[in-house]
């Protein structure tokens, strides 16, 4: 069983400029910087990193890393995926900093996933011990300063097929779905944890039909989303959606893209939790679906997905 | 396995006055009113009710209802509890409105628990359809208007013993704990869901050494907690703790008591989630423990616990 | 000298339905209801009323009432306006409930203004005494619950002319202005108090070229504007601008219209104050002007202005 | 006539450490640093500075600077004060950076005041142009990041006497007052602008009976006050009052002291404005007076006042 989205690894053609965005503007903490790589996390993240940045010419998404509930789940997923004919790469412990053995593979839609369990629980850095023992860093230290990684949203050419595969192969449950009048699926929001969703799949305008729509980081309050919008704008980065509130997921949100890599980040708050064991998929028709309130998207293209290059 | 705290049932010597508090001030929705009983829920709760009020002279807490992940878990818990020598009462479907068969029993500390799975998923009432399909009621309709039931906090004479039993008999995990210099436990915060805690156990000044410290309802934003404080005060109800922020659970909070029954409610926001499968219990010494910020408690006594009277 | 915008009087074809909006949704308090009239105010307003509703077929704006700093200023304004050839009507004390003698007249652009000084300072109603002595009502009692009336915004055919007249005849100062590339003025924001503006004048699509764009009520926090948006939407009233933040005035805002009368209300927060005695008019070119963030207007027409009918 | 509190000048035994507090933690912008002096302002302040820090062994408050409405008001105040027997020092233009000719004197209670009008309106620094033309700096750039200077609060041995003098000699109006059962005045809140108060006078425990209780900076939202508390605590600075909300002034507040100088700062939001020209002084008895909600003061001593030393 998957426990949660553990981290996302993004490639960027300019690591320094991407760090200026993810560290300086988003306000993540730089945990470790290697040769062409940087590892970051939010002040309420406890693993070694929740975001990896990898310098690479193509600026594609490298992978989304899903952490399992138990150590033995990694091998079990590997066996099942291989039995289904999926090509699975074994990644040795330590290839990704702070992380144990992992599997990497492409989903039927071509999404680059990693599955792993073992990961270093890194304590706060020297001189950065937060006021509260259950945090790994200091809130409000710099930039937007989100609490934690939340979810990932991919553009896929056939949402219904990828949604079905995510359910059967990886154990995701669909919390909400938009069904078009012609019966096809416009978007699906799926979860493995108590979050409203850990993974979203949506149709959308992206080269090749597949890409990363966004990675979301959570802030505690709707007012923090408004502050995030102002921080983006003061840095000359125009949000490309929001501030607003989704009807689906009920989240208050603002989105902006890293000027260096083009990868989009959502600052996200106020969603619901799925604590009931029998949450029924809530389906919206095209006619029913609308944003709850706020600014509509001005741009919806995802950033590209390419071959997996471990770092 | 338990999924979550499903509801809390509180007795009150004056049902009308308690409704004026829980409906009029807290802003829950009255789902159904029976003979000497009333059932309420928040706008983001989906089951028939998350709070039952029962008119009874003693004004005690009636029970805390824990919902299981699967239907068959109810019988499994019954067998295990009886094997451990605990007297378990079978409650037939429908005895509690909207609810299937349940078990009621006392924990070793005397806490009145119910375990159940089947419960009616009640849609929004006529003319009360909310803007968003994943809600069961309208946010901001009246009073404080919390999103959902969060957790329950009990006063117990021997925290360590009840904590250990809650782990082995019911599957709770301890997220945080305060250990006194003499080695005894001052308080423990335990979870079965992704919430920072579903159940808290604490030592404290209460007649008989056991009681309900509070029932907590969640609001989306810290600013909603401040608004809650003002609503309490405008109704002549002085909060007896907060607004403030706990170091343990990281929650922004304010507490006040129903003038009719004396039961205490916490309005709660901003806590962390436990999405990691290997959250280590974080232990605080007496010296380390402090509130993060805000007003300290002016009163800490719990409300009484007495014999279970189904309604 | 004018002190401030004291009240706005709006006509509505359906007083009961307009009260459902201004009392039930906006959350003003009904102070007094007369024959075809109703008087309301916010919990931080101290005069008899800041909004008058008058039942009349045309549903036009009746007048904007400007209160003077000193009692004798009323006569001084009357003399000056008459000397300028403006037809000024004397309104006897008590014609408008709670109010002393007043002047009514049309500005050169045809805006229906009233100037007055004497007004009843009405204490809180029986059983509605707020927690804090400097308030006249209870915050958060119902609906959006703004603190106070803020400003009024009119559509006028020639902004520059009306702006100049407002300066010389009434003593307004221009705080911000948008100048089109052709040299004409798109909008001007003028003040007599410390508010960023008490009066705005703008060009816009409205029958006859003149109308009320909106009346604004102030809330303390940006988060209260978001809550206002949700209250509008839960009542089936789609905001026609925002939530968003203006660059001009720096206000966080959401706008919606009374379904009965069509008059637009802005819920407004977070602006700057003009405390400096030498605030320079800040002028924006068309190229420079943009909204700070948030949802753009979906509709900008004002509601009509017609002949003045005292009530 | 006075227009507003223009700036406060504080002495500190350690200028670098005080800058770490006022720039690094409070989040003011360093405008200019001279020989033993530093000048700072908030992003919504427009004059050269609203806070001056002066390195001096005694760490006392140097002066509070009141800006007049008109240039000629400075000489008028000088003549009147001298006629009343007050010793007035003429301060030449440029002695205080960015500022024209000024008067310095002690009030009857010994408070060190400055009166001035001419001051440099300094535009944003190079590379620090904010998104909005009516700001002088970038919101959320670092630290707490308040919008503007708000008010100053002094400890005085005889509040009633200083209050009366402030009214007759300087034109302040009293907005609120606490009167003790013995008829003496515990505190008075006075204004010259539309702020609920620009100056507060209170009895309190301070060496010599006179001192600076605090300087207040305004933030737009109550949620920003909560964030300020967390920023103080993450920097190891324990607030000595709040977060809470005053009944008097209605402000949401948190207070903390500069570790280097001991001067106290209030982060302040949500108060009312005095737009009515006839605001009646609201008087609270000892029995009536209470805080609205939140944490009570843990320490109330002011910081010292000594001889005036221009810098």
DSSP D10-49: EEES-HHHHHIIIIIIS--EEEEE-SSEEEEE-TT--BS-
| Cα–Cα distance, D22 to D13 (Å, whole number) | 14
Half-sphere exposure of D8 (CA within 13 A, CB side): 28
For the segment C205-222, the average pLDDT, to the nearest whole number, is: 92
Segment D148-206, tens digit of pLDDT: 999 999 999 899 999 999 999 999 999 999 999 999 999 999 999 999 999 999 998 88
- Whether C311 has a pLDDT exceeding 50, the answer reads no
Measured in degrees and rounded to the nearest 5, phi and psi for residue A67 equal: -95, 135
Chain B contact present for A273, CB below 8 A? yes
- Whether B308 has a pLDDT exceeding 60, the answer reads no
Q: Report the pLDDT value the prediction gives residue B128, as an integer from 0 to 100.
A: 82
Q: Which residues of C touch B130 (CB under 8 A)?
A: 234
Task: Inspect the interface and report whether the beta carbons of C223 and D220 lie closer than 8 Å.
Answer: no
| Closest by Cβ to B131, choosing from C130, C139, C234 | C234
Cβ neighbours of residue A132 under 8 Å, at least 6 residues apart?
B247, B250, B292
Q: Which residues of D touch C131 (CB under 8 A)?
A: 247, 292
Segment C139-184, tens digit of pLDDT: 999 999 999 999 999 999 899 999 999 999 999 999 999 999 999 9
Indicate the helix (H) or strand (E) that contains B167: helix B159-170
Tens of each residue's pLDDT in chain A, 311 residues: 999 999 999 999 999 999 999 999 999 999 999 999 999 999 999 999 999 999 999 899 999 999 999 999 999 999 999 999 999 999 999 999 999 999 999 999 999 999 999 999 998 988 789 999 999 999 999 999 999 999 999 999 899 999 999 999 999 999 999 999 999 999 999 999 999 999 999 998 887 789 999 999 999 999 999 999 999 999 999 999 999 999 999 999 999 999 999 999 999 999 999 999 999 999 999 999 999 999 999 888 889 887 444 34
**Which residue from B minimizes the CA distance to C133?**
B234
Segment D106-154, tens digit of pLDDT: 999 999 999 999 999 998 988 889 999 999 999 999 999 999 999 999 9
The tokens describing B309, both together, are: 């009277």
Chain C contact present for B233, CB below 8 A? yes
The tokens describing C256, both together, are: 């919606």
Q: Report the pLDDT value the prediction gives residue A204, as an integer from 0 to 100.
A: 81
Of the two residues D309 and A6, the one the predictor is more confident about is A6
For the segment B73-79, the average pLDDT, to the nearest whole number, is: 98
Q: Are C25 and C237 in contact (CB under 8 A)?
A: yes
Residues in chain D: 311
Coil, strand or helix: which one is A54?
strand
Cβ neighbours of residue B183 under 8 Å, at least 6 residues apart?
none
Mean model confidence pLDDT for chain D:
95
Coil, strand or helix: which one is C109?
coil
Task: Inspect the interface and report whether the beta carbons of B220 and A70 lie closer than 8 Å.
Answer: no
Q: What burial class does residue C17 get, using C-beta atoms within 10 Å of its C-beta: 0-12 exposed, 13-18 middle, 19+ buried?
A: middle
Pairs of residues, one from chain C and one from chain D, whose beta carbons lie less than 8 Å apart? 102
Selected for mutation to probe chain A from B70, B276, B285 (highest A CB count within 10 Å) is: B276
Extended strands (E) in chain D: 2-12, 29-33, 37-41, 51-55, 61-68, 88-91, 102-106, 112-116, 148-155, 173-179, 185-191, 199-202, 211-218, 241-245, 252-257, 264-269, 282-285, 293-294
Chain D contact present for A140, CB below 8 A? yes
Q: Which residues of D touch C134 (CB under 8 A)?
A: 176, 248, 250, 272, 282
**Which residue from A minimizes the CA distance to C236?**
A292
Segment B53-63, tens digit of pLDDT: 999 999 999 99
Please give the span between the terminal C-alpha atoms of chain B, in angstroms, as a whole number. Answer: 26
| Residue written as token pair 């008119």 | B55
Q: Where are the alpha helices (DSSP H) in chain C?
A: 15-19, 73-83, 159-170, 222-234
Distance from the Cα of A132 to chain D's closest Cα (Å) equals 9
pTM: 0.97
Q: Which residues of D touch B252 (CB under 8 A)?
A: 226
Which ipTM score applies to this complex? 0.96
Cis peptide before B291 (omega within 30 of 0): no
Segment C106-135, tens digit of pLDDT: 999 999 999 999 999 998 988 789 999 999
- Whether D306 has a pLDDT exceeding 80, the answer reads no
Task: Inspect the interface and report whether the beta carbons of C275 and D47 lie closer than 8 Å.
Answer: no
Q: Are B215 and B51 in contact (CB under 8 A)?
A: yes
Task: Inspect the interface and report whether the beta carbons of B222 and D221 lie closer than 8 Å.
Answer: no
- Whether C209 has a pLDDT exceeding 90, the answer reads no
Q: Report the pLDDT value the prediction gives residue A300, as an integer from 0 to 100.
A: 86
Q: Which residues of B touch A250 (CB under 8 A)?
A: 132, 134-135
Mean model confidence pLDDT for chain C:
95
Q: In which band, very low, low, confident or very high, does the pLDDT at B311 lie, cut at 50, 70 and 90?
A: very low
Q: Report the pLDDT value the prediction gives residue C308, as an integer from 0 to 100.
A: 42
- Whether D308 has a pLDDT exceeding 70, the answer reads no
- Which chains would you list as touching B if contact means 3+ CB atom pairs under 8 Å? A, C, D
Please work out, in degrees rounded to the nearest 5, the angle formed at the alpha carbon of residue C220 by the alpha carbons of C217 and C221. Answer: 115
Task: Inspect the interface and report whether the beta carbons of A147 and B272 lie closer than 8 Å.
Answer: yes
Q: Where are the alpha helices (DSSP H) in chain A?
A: 15-19, 73-83, 159-170, 222-234
| Closest by Cβ to D294, choosing from B222, B292, B294 | B294
Distance from the Cα of C300 to chain A's closest Cα (Å) equals 17
Cβ neighbours of residue C176 under 8 Å, at least 6 residues apart?
C188, C189, C196, C197, C248, C249, C281, C282, C283, C284, D134
For the segment C67-71, the average pLDDT, to the nearest whole number, is: 98
Coil, strand or helix: which one is A190?
strand
Chain B contact present for D270, CB below 8 A? no
Chain C contact present for A220, CB below 8 A? no
For the segment B72-83, the average pLDDT, to the nearest whole number, is: 98
Distance from the Cα of A292 to chain D's closest Cα (Å) equals 23
Task: Inspect the interface and report whether the beta carbons of B176 and A134 lie closer than 8 Å.
Answer: yes
| Cα–Cα distance, B303 to B300 (Å, whole number) | 10
Q: In which band, very low, low, confident or very high, does the pLDDT at D310 lie, cut at 50, 70 and 90?
A: very low
**Which residue from C minimizes the CA distance to D117?**
C277
- Whether C284 has a pLDDT exceeding 60, the answer reads yes
Q: Report the pLDDT value the prediction gives residue B207, as an integer from 0 to 100.
A: 78
Cβ neighbours of residue C168 under 8 Å, at least 6 residues apart?
none
Cβ neighbours of residue D5 under 8 Å, at least 6 residues apart?
D64, D65, D66, D67, D149, D150, D151, D152, D198, D199
| Cα–Cα distance, C93 to C112 (Å, whole number) | 19
- Whether B4 has a pLDDT exceeding 50, the answer reads yes
Give the closest residue to C221 by CA, choosing from B250, D294, B226. Answer: B226
The tokens describing C87, both together, are: 């037809």
- Whether D232 has a pLDDT exceeding 90, the answer reads yes
For the segment B271-285, the average pLDDT, to the nearest whole number, is: 97
* Axis crossing angle, helix C222-234 with helix B222-234, rounded to the nearest 10: 80
Q: Report the pLDDT value the prediction gives residue C6, as an integer from 0 to 100.
A: 98
Residues in chain A: 311
| Residue written as token pair 């603190």 | C147
| Cα–Cα distance, D151 to D171 (Å, whole number) | 16
Rounded to whole angstroms, what are the CA distances from B40 to B33, B61, C181?
9, 16, 60
- Which chains would you list as touching D if contact means 3+ CB atom pairs under 8 Å? A, B, C
Task: Inspect the interface and report whether the beta carbons of C250 and D288 lie closer than 8 Å.
Answer: no
The tokens describing C178, both together, are: 């948008």
- Whether D311 has a pLDDT exceeding 90, the answer reads no
- Whether D280 has a pLDDT exceeding 60, the answer reads yes
Of the two residues C210 and B196, the one the predictor is more confident about is B196
The tokens describing D106, both together, are: 């002690």
Pairs of residues, one from chain B and one from chain C, whose beta carbons lie less than 8 Å apart? 30
Chain D contact present for C221, CB below 8 A? yes
Q: Report the pLDDT value the prediction gives residue B208, as an integer from 0 to 100.
A: 78
**What residues 67-86 of chain C have any CB closer than 8 A to a CB of chain D?**
67-70
Q: Report the pLDDT value the prediction gives residue D60, as an integer from 0 to 100.
A: 94
């Amino acid at each position: 069983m998957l426990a949660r989205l553990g981290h996302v690894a993004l490639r960027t053609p300019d690591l320094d400029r991407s760090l200026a965005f993810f560290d300086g503007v988003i306000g993540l903490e730089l945990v470790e910087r290697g040769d062409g790589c940087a590892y970051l996390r939010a002040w309420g993240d406890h693993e070694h990193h929740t975001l990896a940045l990898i310098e690479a010419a193509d600026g594609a998404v490298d992978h989304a890393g899903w952490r399992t509930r138990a150590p033995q789940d990694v091998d079990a997923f590997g066996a099942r995926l291989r039995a289904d004919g999926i090509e699975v790469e074994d990644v040795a412990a330590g290839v990704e900093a702070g992380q144990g053995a992992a599997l990497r593979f492409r989903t039927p839609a071509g999404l680059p996933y990693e599955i792993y369990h073992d990961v270093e629980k890194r304590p706060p850095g020297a001189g950065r011990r937060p006021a509260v023992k259950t945090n790994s860093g200091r809130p409000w230290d710099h930039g937007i300063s989100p609490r934690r990684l939340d979810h990932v949203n991919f553009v896929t050419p056939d949402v219904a097929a990828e949604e079905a595969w995510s359910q059967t192969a990886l154990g995701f449950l669909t919390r909400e779905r938009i069904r078009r009048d012609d019966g096809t699926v416009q978007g699906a929001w799926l979860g493995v944890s108590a979050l409203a969703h850990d993974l979203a799949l949506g149709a959308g305008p992206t080269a090749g039909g597949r890409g990363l729509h966004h990675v979301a980081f959570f802030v505690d309050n709707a007012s923090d989303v408004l502050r995030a919008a102002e921080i983006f704008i003061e840095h000359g980065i125009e949000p490309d959606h929001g501030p607003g509130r989704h009807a689906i997921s009920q989240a208050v949100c603002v989105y902006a893209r890293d000027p260096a890599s083009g990868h989009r980040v959502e600052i996200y708050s106020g969603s619901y939790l799925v604590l009931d064991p029998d949450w029924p998929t809530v389906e919206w028709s095209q006619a029913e679906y609308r944003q709850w309130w706020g600014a509509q998207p001005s741009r919806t293209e995802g950033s590209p997905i390419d071959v997996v290059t471990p770092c």
